[in-house]
Copies of this chain bind each other. A is one copy, B any other.
Amino acid sequence: MERRRDLLAPPAWTNLTLALKFRRMFRVALAAAVAVLMTAQGAWADEGMWPFDEAPLARVHDSLGVTLDSRWLDHVRDASVRLTNGCSASIVSPNGLVLTNQHCIVGCAQAVSPAGSDYVGDGFVAADVTAERTCPGIQAEVLVSIADVTTQIFLAGTGKIGEAFATARQTAIDDAERDACGGDTRFRCQVISFYDGGQFKVYKFRRYADVRLVFSPELSAAFFGGDPDNFNFPRYDLDCAFLRLYEGGKPVATPTFLVWSKTPPAAGEPVFVSGSPGATDRLQTVAQLATMRDVTLPLLAVEQAELRGRLTELAEQSPELRRETAGALFEAENTLKLVQGRLAALRDPAFMAARERDEADLKARLAADAPLAKQVGDPWAEIAATQKTFALQFVVWHALESGAGGGSDLYRYARDLVRAAAERAKPTAMRLPEYADSRLALDEKALFDAKPVQPAVETMQLEFWLTKAREELGVDSPAIAAFLGTESPEALARRLVAGSKLGDPAVRRALWEGGMAAVVASDDPMIQFVLKTDPTSRAARSVWEDDVTGPVQDASERIDRARFNLDSGLYPDATFSLRLSYGKVAGWTYQGQDTAPFTTFAGLFGRATGAPPYQLPARWTGRAQSLDPATVLDFSTTNDITGGNSGSPVVDAQGEIVGAAFDGNIHSIAGDYTYDASLNRTVAVSTVAISEALVKIYGDAALARELAGG
């Protein structure tokens, strides 16, 4: 059954460990495509992450008084970009210029900084196109079409069970992807399941494998306020960056782009976010939520906290290590805050009581429909019955498979090489899904792109992973014996990193091309380590998928069947596929305190104490008086977004871009489980602030002109 479960695995981009602010965080379960229940009264105003082919036009009209037409939708879709590192973006000029967040390109800026330079800390302004730098590992994808393939996928499996069913389904998926792309390597075709497997669609993307860094502000301007202000608002971050799409060494012509707004949106103005939210958990049963509250999230909280402590102390050892750890530290702090926020929501008895009421209500309505009730059975009880196994096996799966390597690039290279060598020898439908034919181009890009190795960080990551795995599984576990032998985590990590040559792309390419024979013959210690331990990792994955995610998936599908029949106004849970969210510019009121929806440059300078993370770059303090202090810097909106939406364009009713989403307020973290229109807010940086800063701070008149005149 291994293959079938993997259809629901996170997409390949989760293999990348780039640091991303508001990115889909580590997933505790594989449920990646589940439908969401509206209240009986219908969705909250502004709720929902809607596929473009199911855009809720009537709902938008009723809620905002705005009529969107298909031209508007097509235009926004064609200008929306998915980045394979887990972010969103948009095309903002006819010359392939792309806007995203600075926190989405930290890994790129780190990787392309020449020795002695720090494009993360000091920012990066390409003097002209020749100075633009290719980001390793990042592919940009623009959705060009959606086709429903539900019937053919369903038909393929009809009358089959078990392994035969799984293989038939996977073959149908592979066929659908191949048919849609027709072998044209300019495209990537991906079958995405929606509504928990109730619907399958082929998303066809124009892919751009050469994405170059054009502009990034300094970290201290993009992430002003640092971790203390993260997920908070009022906020004062210029969290923007520009990339450019290239092909054949030349900028790509992009006649469809979003017009750059010269005015900020007004309070109450309708705005739309077009991006690729990673995952939401709005369908989880109460039993599953309790497991998250009591098992998975507490484990992740403690782990991320300890990792944060390690990275903080490592960063303080030298400026070089501060730069090298910046991305990982950002990710650890961001994940920790997300996990803590989710735990706070789940530990709120009122929140859980509401979920219990919703569940009881659905069950009662199901019971009233005898034929449907018979068909559905009691999937809630089945899911509840798996929770003990979930709790036991989650730790194993996390330690040996999903968290293996602790973020080490060298480990990731070795595992990809070892696994791909084994998998590529099989027919595509029999492989682990991440090595299916349709994924190989992206796999190769992630493997072959040059990226500097940071030995101190790599060693720490491996050591930390091995230490925690030993702690979580127990020192006497056979799996730990297989990983450590008689070495300590410290010594093993040092030996693997010091001896590995996998930092060299040519070495990786040679092993990839040499297949299993070359891999087995390699004396690289990291390759040998993975060859020795991968059977243990794969075994943990099989148990997890067969005993936990498989049975849960079966039960979840039946809950969804009940919803389909008993509810109206459904939208699918997030699946890192393009979605439209509608809303308006708005602050909020919490515990009697009002928060206004706008901040300005004046507020930024008022908050700057001069001490990090409230210290502005020298470039800013020197030119403060040239900025218009009243310029709107950041703003908050009611749009329903989540991790993966980072960098998404915020578009007005005329289709002009007014900002880029980069965060949510603290209440938005509970949005993983439910949307609360009164509190849940998207946070965006405005186009007017970006323009003002480009001209007055960075003196980048050419870029400003490209945006203005585009």
Name A residues whose Cβ lies closer than 8 Å to a Cβ of B.
Answer: 225, 227-229, 294, 298, 301-303, 305-314, 316-317, 336, 340, 343, 347, 460, 464, 470-471, 474-475, 484, 486-488, 490-491, 609-614
Q: Once the chains are docked, how many angstroms separate the CA of A309 from the CA of B305?
A: 8
Which among A311, A313, A490 has the highest number of chain B CB atoms within 10 Å?
A: A313
- Kindly list chain B residues whose C-beta atoms are within 8 Å of the C-beta of A228: 470-471, 474-475
Q: In whole angstroms, how far apart are the Cα atoms of A487 and B612 in the complex? A: 8
Which residues of chain B are near A474, meaning CB under 8 Å? 228
Does B301 lie within 8 Å of A309, measured CB to CB? Answer: no
Q: Are B317 and A609 in contact (CB under 8 A)?
A: no
Q: How far is the CA of A611 from the CA of B480 in the complex (A)?
A: 14
Closest B residue by C-beta to A467? B312
Contact sample, A vs B, 6 pairs, CB 8 Å cutoff: A298-B301, A302-B302, A303-B305, A309-B312, A309-B313, A313-B314
From A302, A308, A336, A340, residue with most partner B Cβ within 10 Å: A302
Task: Tell me the minimal C-beta distance from A564 to chain B in angstroms.
Answer: 33
Q: Closest CB of chain B to A615's CB: distance in Å?
A: 8
Complex: A294 Cα to B343 Cα, angstroms:
9
| Docked pose: A592 CA to B475 CA in angstroms | 20
- Asked whether A488 and B612 contact (CB < 8 A) given A298-B301, A301-B302, A317-B317, the answer is yes
Query: Would you call B229 and A475 a contact (CB within 8 A)?
Result: yes
Q: Is the CB of A343 within 8 A of B298?
A: yes
Instruction: Report the separation of the CA atoms of residues A314 and B313 in the bound assembly, to the nearest whole angstrom.
Output: 6
The CA-CA distance from A227 to B488 in the complex, in Å, is: 13
Q: A309-B309, A488-B612 are in contact. List 19 more A-B contacts (CB 8 A).
A: A228-B470, A228-B474, A294-B347, A298-B298, A302-B305, A302-B336, A303-B305, A305-B305, A306-B306, A308-B309, A309-B464, A310-B310, A310-B312, A310-B313, A313-B314, A316-B490, A486-B610, A488-B614, A490-B612
A306 to B227, CA, bound (A): 15
**Which 4 pairs between the two chains have the least Cβ-Cβ distance?**
A309-B309, A313-B313, A488-B611, A306-B309
Chain A interface main SS type? helix
Taken together as a complex, chains A and B put the C-alpha atoms of A566 and B347 apart, in Å, by: 35
A232–B584 alpha-carbon span in the complex (Å):
56
Cβ–Cβ contact B460 & A313, under 8 A: yes
Identity of the chain B residue whose Cβ is nearest the Cβ of A228 in the assembled complex: B475
Residues of B within 8 A of A225 (CB): 475
Contacts of A475 in B (CB 8 A): 225, 228-229
What is the bound-complex CA distance between A306 and B298, given in angstroms?
A: 14
Contact of A611 among B313, B471, B491 (CB under 8 A): B491
Shortest C-beta distance, A159 to chain B (Å), equals 43
For A340, what are the chain B residues with a Cβ–Cβ distance below 8 Å? Answer: 302
Contacts of A609 in B (CB 8 A): 486
The complex places the Cα of A317 from the Cα of B464 at a distance, in Å, of 16
Q: Which residues of B contact A301 (CB under 8 A)?
A: 298, 301-302, 305
What B residues does A305 contact at CB under 8 A?
301-303, 305-306, 309
- CB-CB under 8 A from A487, the residues of chain B are 611
Q: In this complex, what residue of B is CB-closest to A303? A: B305
Distance in Å: Cβ of A204 to nearest Cβ of chain B:
44
Bound form: Cα–Cα A309–B325 in Å: 14
A610 neighbours in B (Cβ, 8 Å): 486
Chain B residues near A490: list those with CB within 8 A.
Answer: 316, 612
Residues of B within 8 A of A294 (CB): 347
Instruction: Find chain B residues with CB under 8 A from A470 CB.
Output: 228
**Which residues of chain B come closer than 8 Å to A317, judged between CB atoms?**
317
A336 to chain B minimum Cβ distance, whole angstroms, is 8
A343: chain B residues at CB < 8 Å are: 298
How far, in Å, is A298 (CB) from chain B's closest CB? 7
Cα A456 to Cα B303 in complex, Å, equals 24
Could you tell me the distance between the alpha carbons of A346 and B336 in the complex, rounded to whole angstroms?
Answer: 22
Most buried by B among A306, A340, A609: A306
**Minimum Cβ distance to chain B for residue A304 (Å):** 8
When distances are taken between beta carbons in the complex, the residues of chain B under 8 Å from A336 are 302
Quote the shortest CB–CB distance from A594 to chain B (angstroms).
15
The CA of A308 and the CA of B614, in the complex, are separated in Å by 27
In the assembled complex, how far is the CB of residue A228 from the closest CB belonging to chain B, in whole angstroms? 4
**Chain B neighbourhood of A613, CB < 8 A:** 488
Q: B309 to A611, Cβ gap below 8 A?
A: no
Q: Chain B residue with minimal CB distance to A481?
A: B609
Contact yes or no, A486 B309, CB < 8 A: no
> Which residue on chain B has the smallest CB distance to residue A489?
B611
A313–B294 Cα gap in the complex (Å)?
A: 29
User: Given the complex, which residues of B lie within 8 Å of A308, measured CB to CB?
Assistant: 306, 309
Q: Nearest residue in B to A484 (C-beta to C-beta)?
A: B611
Q: Which residues of B contact A307 (CB under 8 A)?
A: 309
For the complex, give the distance between the alpha carbons of A471 and B337 in Å: 10
A611 to B495 alpha-carbon distance, docked (Å): 13
Return chain B residues, CB-CB under 8 Å to A484. Answer: 611
For the complex, what is the distance from the CA of A309 to the CA of B474, rounded to whole Å? Answer: 19
How many angstroms between the C-alpha atoms of A309 and B465 in the bound complex? Answer: 12
Residue of B nearest to A487 (CB): B611
Which of A316, A460, A484, A491 has most B Cβ within 10 Å?
A316
Q: Select from chain B the residue with minimum beta-carbon distance to A302.
A: B305
Complexed CA–CA distance, A613 and B490 (Å): 11
Residue numbers in B under 8 Å from A311 (CB-CB): 309
A609, B470: Cα distance in complex, Å:
15
The answer to whether A471 touches B227, judged by C-beta atoms less than 8 angstroms apart, is: yes
How distant is the Cα of A491 from the Cα of B612 in the complex, in angstroms? 9
A303 / chain B contacts, CB cutoff of 8 Å = 305
Closest to A611 in B: B488
**In the complex, residue of chain B having the shortest beta-carbon distance to the beta carbon of A615:** B488
Assembled-state Cα–Cα distance A306/B309 (Å): 4
- A305 CA to B306 CA in the complex, in Å? 5
**Residues in B whose Cβ lies below 8 Å from that of A312:** 309-310, 313
